[in-house]
Structure 1
């Protein structure tokens, strides 16, 4: 079991990484999108015809808040709602052409951001950093239920 000093080091990393990624900024990469809008836009881009409730579950965010963000994305003409072909009571979310362009821009800037973060590391340090992140992700988020 980790002691408080070790937990403090993890918390310090979390705080520094949040700052490095710019998550505390109101807008993502100087766009007119908030971070939650950007994250939901990304999830819609990653999943073919995802439903709002699937977004709630996958991103673990409040249903009402998700609904408001989806409405904002729809008003910005980045997404559209289409009826589910299997269940007419349900809707699926898809990116518009404008939404695809916004997503691609955010994706490129996200990659650039990570490259800028690690550019001063040697090749071996970059690989070590990658392996550490991959391992942490595996330990925390990819565990199989036994």
Structure 2
């Protein structure tokens, strides 16, 4: 069992990583999207025809908050709602062309951000960092990521 000092080291890493990623900034990569909007846009981009409830369950966020974010993305013409062919009471969310463009830009900038974070490390330490992240994902979430 970890003691408080060890737990505080993990918490310090979390705080530093959040700062390094810019998560505390109001907008993602100086766009007009908030971080939650960007994250939901990513879910819609990566899973064809996802439902709002699937987003709620996957991201573990409040249903009402998710609904408001989806409405904002729809107003910005980044997503559209389409009827579910299997269940007319349900809707699926898909990206518009504008939404796909926004997602691709955020995805590229996210990759660049990580590259910038580790670029000064020697190749061997970049691999060590990557392997550590894979290991942490496996331990905490049962997978190595995507």
TM-score class, shorter-chain normalisation, is over 0.9
Equivalent residue number for residue 5 of structure 1: 5
In 2, distance between residues paired with 1:138 and 1:23?
Answer: 23
Q: Deviations over 1:23-70 (max 9, x none)?
A: 000000000000000000000001010000000000000000000000
Query: What is the TM-score normalised by the length of structure 2?
Result: 0.97
Q: CA deviation at 1:14?
A: 0.2
Q: Distance in 2 between matches of 1:59 and 1:106?
A: 18
1:26 correspondence with 2:26:
yes
Query: 1:142 deviation in Å?
Result: 1.3
2:119 aligns with: 119
Q: Which runs of 5+ in 1 are unaligned?
A: none
Q: For residues 4 and 51 of structure 1, what CA distance do their matches in structure 2 show?
A: 40
Secondary structure in structure 2 of the residue aligned to 1:29:
helix
Aligned match of 1:64: 64
- 3-state SS, counterpart of residue 56 of structure 1: helix
1:6 Cα deviation from its structure 2 partner: 0.3
Aligned equivalents of 1:76, 1:142: Cα separation in 2? 36
* 1:85-104 equivalences in 2 (<5 Å): 85-104=85-104
Counterpart-to-counterpart distance in 2, 1:31 and 1:42: 15
Provide the residue aligned with 2:38 in structure 1.
38
SS at match of 2:103: helix
State how far apart, in whole Å, the 2-side matches of 1:93 and 1:124 are. 41
- Aligned pair count reads 143
In structure 2, distance between residues paired with 1:140 and 1:46: 22
For 1:72-91, what per-residue CA distance to the aligned partner results, in whole angstroms no more than 9, with x for missing partners?
00000000000000111100
CA deviation map 1:83-110 (0-9, x unaligned): 0001111000000000000000000000
> Which aligned segments of 4 or more residues in structure 1 are displaced greater than 2 angstroms?
none
Please give the TM-score of this superposition, normalised by the length of structure 1.
Answer: 0.97
CA distance in 1, matches of 2:17, 2:104: 23
Separation in 2 of the partners of 1:138 and 1:20?
A: 23
What CA RMSD, in Å, does the superposition of the two structures yield over aligned residues? 0.6
